[in-house]
Amino acid sequence: MRDTVNIATTPVLRVRGLTKRFGGLTAVKNLSLDLKAGEIFGLIGPNGSGKSTAMKSIMGIERPTSGEVLFEGKNVAGLPAHKIARKGFGMVFQHSRPLNRQTVLENIMVALLPDSLFMLFADKALTERAKWIAERVGLKDVMHRRPPTLPFADLRRLELAKAIARDPKVVLVDEPFAGLTLAEVGTFSELIRSFRDEGRAVLLVDHNVKSVAALVDRVLAMYLGEEIITGTAGEVMQNETVRRVYLGGAIETAARREMDFKDKVPLLRVENISVLYGKAQALNNVSIHVHQGEFVSVVGLNGAGKTTLFNTISGFLPYTGEIVRDGEKLRGITPAAIARSGLVQCPENRELFGEMSVRENLDLGGQHLTDDDRTKQMEWLFGLFPILKDRQSQMAQTLSGGEQQMLAIGRALMMQPKILILDEPTLGLAPVVLETLSKALEKLRQTTDITVLLGEQNVTFALPHADRVYVLEHASIVWEGDPERFAAEAGSGYI
């Protein structure tokens, strides 16, 4: 963080009591913040905390349910986004939406054009201004190319260029580092700092505390729509509530029977996997391995690449590198064939059939079994999750979130997997449900030979159920080791 003596004392933007509801869900609750000219203010929080909804409500993309958004003393809350933009706001969206048939320069010129439709042709001054902006954000050498030909980082630069085209006083930046390499994160951080140095007020939303920490002057941490704390990045990162929200609580590990995998061939090997989403680097040269009967946790914040890794292993995404299971390369094998062979994924969004009963969802998982085997597997499963036995005739969509998660895991287990992939099973669940899931996983771990690959942001849930841990950050593996070593070597820097 820089010396803050140059920051203006009077806020250019004041948010007071901002609330946004979607039906019965309160996504943002009574949020207040001040943003000054020449300041970068970070809005952080884990997935689902309400930060993006707060930004969209400030910008007018979402209409606030209540509260004030005071820009230079005037309330703009409830105005449509284009009117708020005219008053001096620019927004950098997470997902690029360029005009693909126009050049980079023409995209910037469109952002510069006045609102009047009478001006159909750009004058020389406007063209020169567009060229200056292109150079300003590092697009000088590609200004005559069209967006589909650009690398991902240049598409993000184009979004920055469009946001500052009209010389806004307030710049809102949504997840600026998503899909960027570490080197590109550094470059973009310098660009955002330069906006601040020009006297603009910058509101930056990101889930990654470490990326934001070196950039912002102040940070507001959110959880479940509400403010936890506002302060310097150092103060916020050391706050016990913030650490509990990101980590899940105190880091503990659990011993289990001795397992020695030395000199044994892994059951699953992921070797130098790289995946692109369009031009965004979703995985970069990732390698992991899992042995028969081993529980391996892949921990990382939202957006680190966990789901991409699991979807790639399950056959849903194209990739470079190799995935080998039991000596067989999985490239070219369909997701259905991979699942039938015993590598089964329980997805983050559960993907239950809501209008079918609990029993029908479970029967779908066990459809390949004989009647006797399906009955035995079902009884075993009801011993693991007794609540599912009581809810057999209930429609899946009427279950609570925790019950739906148990059903999703149960359906996967009905397939009798040899390797079970669990993607963020604790997301949005209450502590009492986490305890039930934890006991079920530990029972699996101690009494079966099933192999589990668990992806989690909540490390205090992941570590007690792990023989080894990988840390995934910015699409790359940055740490590997035993759970006992995590607290000492990686825990303090996780968020």
C-alpha distance from residue 48 to each of 241, 247, 287, 427 (Å): 16, 15, 29, 9
Q: Which of 129-133, 185-189, 444-448 has the highest mean pLDDT?
A: 129-133
Give the pLDDT confidence of 323-352 residue by residue, as tens digits: 999 989 999 999 999 999 999 999 988 888
Q: How far is Cα 232 from Cα 218, in angstroms, rounded to an integer? A: 5
Q: How far is Cα 385 from Cα 18, in angstroms, rounded to an integer? A: 41
Q: What percent of the chain has pLDDT over 70?
A: 88
Give me the phi and psi of 204, to 5 degrees please. -120, 125
pLDDT above 90: residue 427: no
Q: What pLDDT, on a 0 to 100 scale, did the predictor assign at position 206?
A: 78
Strand pairing class (280-290; 218-223): unpaired
Q: What pLDDT, on a 0 to 100 scale, did the predictor assign at position 430?
A: 64
Among the ranges given (23-32, 91-100, 310-319), the one the predictor scored with the smallest mean pLDDT: 91-100
Could you give the count of Cα atoms lying within 13 Å of 403 in the half-sphere of its Cβ?
Answer: 18
User: How far is the first Cα of the chain from the last one, in angstroms, to the nearest whole number?
Assistant: 17
Question: Which residue would you say has higher pLDDT here, 251 or 78?
Answer: 78
Q: How far is Cα 351 from Cα 332, in angstroms, rounded to an integer? A: 24
Mean pLDDT of 248-267: 60
pLDDT above 70: residue 4: no
Instruction: For residue 20, name the pLDDT band (cuts at 50, 70, 90).
Output: very high
Among the ranges given (94-98, 160-164, 295-299, 415-419), the one the predictor scored with the smallest mean pLDDT: 94-98
Instruction: For residue 185, name the pLDDT band (cuts at 50, 70, 90).
Output: confident
**Strand-pair partners of 220:** 43, 230
Count CB neighbours of 326 within 10 A: 15
Instruction: For residue 116, name the pLDDT band (cuts at 50, 70, 90).
Output: very low
Closest CA to 1 of 284, 156, 158, 212: 212
pLDDT above 70: residue 60: yes
pTM, to two decimals: 0.63
Residue identified by tokens 């550094």 is 186
The set of residues, in sequence order, having a beta carbon less than 8 Å from that of 151 and lying 6+ positions away, is 279
Q: What pLDDT, on a 0 to 100 scale, did the predictor assign at position 465?
A: 82
Give the pLDDT confidence of 299-326 residue by residue, as tens digits: 987 778 899 999 999 999 999 999 999 9
Q: How far is Cα 178 from Cα 214, in angstroms, rounded to an integer? A: 16
Look up residue 283 and give its DSSP letter: E
Positive or negative: CA dihedral 288, 292, 297, 302: positive
The alpha helices in 221-370, defined as continuous H runs, are 233-238, 240-247, 306-313, 335-340, 358-365
DSSP letter string, 291-328 = -TT-EEEEE--TTSSHHHHHHHHTT-S--EEEEEETTE
Q: What pLDDT, on a 0 to 100 scale, did the predictor assign at position 256?
A: 46
Average pLDDT of every residue of the chain: 85
Count CB neighbours of 471 within 10 A: 23
**Strand-pair partners of 469:** 297, 481
Instruction: For residue 33, name the pLDDT band (cuts at 50, 70, 90).
Output: very high
Give the pLDDT confidence of 269-287 residue by residue, as tens digits: 999 999 998 878 889 999 9
Give the tokens for residue 143: 């200004």
- What angle, 0 to 180 degrees and rounded to 10, lies between the N-to-C axes of helices 152-163 and 104-112? 20
CB 477 within 8 A of CB 488: no
pLDDT above 50: residue 117: no
Instruction: For residue 3, name the pLDDT band (cuts at 50, 70, 90).
Output: very low
**Strand-pair partners of 18:** 31
Give the pLDDT confidence of 376-387 residue by residue, as tens digits: 999 999 999 998
Q: How far is Cα 209 from Cα 447, in angstroms, rounded to an integer? A: 38
Q: What percent of the chain has pLDDT over 90?
A: 42
Using a 10 angstrom Cβ sphere, with 0-12 exposed, 13-18 middle and 19 or more buried, the burial of residue 249 is middle
Give the tokens for residue 395: 């429609």
* List of domains in the chain: 4-247 (3.40.50.300), 268-493 (3.40.50.300)
Mean pLDDT of 224-250: 79
Cα angle 127, 132, 133; round to 5? 100
Q: How far is Cα 358 from Cα 398, in angstroms, rounded to an integer? A: 10
Q: What pLDDT, on a 0 to 100 scale, did the predictor assign at position 254?
A: 54
Question: Which residue would you say has higher pLDDT here, 41 or 437?
Answer: 41
Instruction: For residue 31, name the pLDDT band (cuts at 50, 70, 90).
Output: very high
Q: What pLDDT, on a 0 to 100 scale, did the predictor assign at position 247?
A: 57
Q: How far is Cα 113 from Cα 407, in angstroms, rounded to an integer? A: 54
Give the pLDDT confidence of 446-475 residue by residue, as tens digits: 888 899 999 998 887 888 888 899 999 888
CB 472 within 8 A of CB 299: yes
Question: Helix, strand or coil for residue 204?
Answer: strand
